Structure 1
Amino acid sequence: MLPTGYWEPPRKRCCCARRGTQLVLVGLLSTAMCASLLTLLLLWHWETEKTLKQLGDTAIQNVSRVSKDLERYQSNQLAQESEAAQMSQSMQELQAEQKQMKTQDSQLSQNLNKIQEDLTNIESQNSELSQNLNRLQEDVINVKSLGLNEKRTASDSLEKLQEEVAKLWIEVLMSKGTACNTCPKDWLHFQQKCYYFGKGSKQWIQARYTCSDLEGRLVSIHSQEEQDFLMKHMNKRDSWIGLQDLHMEGQFTWMDESPVDYR
């Protein structure tokens, strides 16, 4: 026991214990903060490395793309330079050709002037020749027309004369009683005339000349009886007769120049 009146100092153990606890807490807190900072630093470092890697890959891709573009540009530039050289050479060739064409144009112009002068002279001569040729053509046409008209008139007169002779011969034979033998073979007798019905297809002008070769002419029809006889013996398809408008279109006459008295 302590004597009365003795002052006992306060105990400090509890305070020491509290301070130790606080220090431990502070140390733990510092350790946690350091660990957190270290973790943050590690994360930041990892993210930074990842970002740097991505940036590096992107940079590599960009460098590769730029390198390809540069190569393409260089190749295009070389091609353009070669094209420019070819164009320059072509331009020089064109200029040389242009000079040649200018000299040729001057020569052609001179030749054209000479040709125009010659054409003028030829035209003047052609006008005279044309006039003379027109005169000659008119003379030839006149001669031909006269020759054709005379030939046609002579042919018609000859055919008419042959027909008259045939009629007279038939009349003479009939007067002697030998009318049954008056027509040639393959010809038919009807009303003092002999008729031949041709075979095969012909044009009208061919039929006319065939009759002339047979010493006859295309038939002229002057009665219903004669038409009935012809309809009975003619070709079933079609046949030519001697009605024509050769001298004037629309004005029909018979080949023997007999009047059109029956239609």
Structure 2
Amino acid sequence: MLRLISFIFVCALFNCGFSKEESCSRFEFLERLLEKMAKMELNFDQLQKNVNTAQNAMDTALKSAETKLETLEIKSEAFAEGLAAQIEKLDEQVTANFTCALTKKLSEMGILSTPTACPDGWIPFQNSCYLFGDDDVMFNDAQKFCQTFDANLVNIESPKENSFLRSQLKKRKAPRHWIGMTDMEREGEWKHYPSHSDVTFFDWGKHQPNNGRVSNCGAFWESFQYLWVDEPCTNKFKPLCEKKSDPGVSIQ
């Protein structure tokens, strides 16, 4: 605006040295020039508004795309978790059906004798029997409970055994059960209990183990989808006992 006023002022001074006719002609020229400049300024303002509008539209579209991408990622994670659960369930069913069919067929062929036997109330799996206790007791008392049956707290040594136990706990809707493992001797070095052999397979829940020296005993926990947690050994959970099955299966 300042440049425009200066321009008009200079033009006015310039007109002072001309005749009346020449001044009018030049004044009309300046009027048209100012009109064009005013229109150009309006066009520029409109162009700037259009640019701002387009920029806002792009920002809105970008935010919408980011939101949709986040939603898609959440759905993808949920789908992956659901698919993994279905695969795990299918694997358990296939394993159980195959084992049952194979045992039946071998028995019919006379290759297998009487199936592996477990005491009443105990659940067989592979070469072990498992007992799911009903009373909540401290870790050491849970071990004593198992010893009354010539058994110990469960020592989990493979993914298949762990998967079997998790499925059993889910069926029972059992909230918490002790696992025979501790890091009492040295923090972070988990040992089977009571054998004190190294634990080589783990299935910790999210952010577990997390309680350091306060928690030295392992357990299944429903809130963690029956993954493992570390807990104070003085907490009271149900025992989960394991003993070797009677030698009822023999290969001739």
* Greater percentage in strand: 2
Tell me if TM exceeds 0.5.
Answer: no
Point out which structure has higher relative CO (alpha carbons under 8 A, 6+ apart).
2
* Greater percentage in helix: 1
Max radius of gyration: which structure? 1
- TM tier, smaller: 0.3 to 0.5
What is the TM-score with the length of structure 1 in the denominator? 0.31
What is the TM-score with the length of structure 2 in the denominator? 0.32
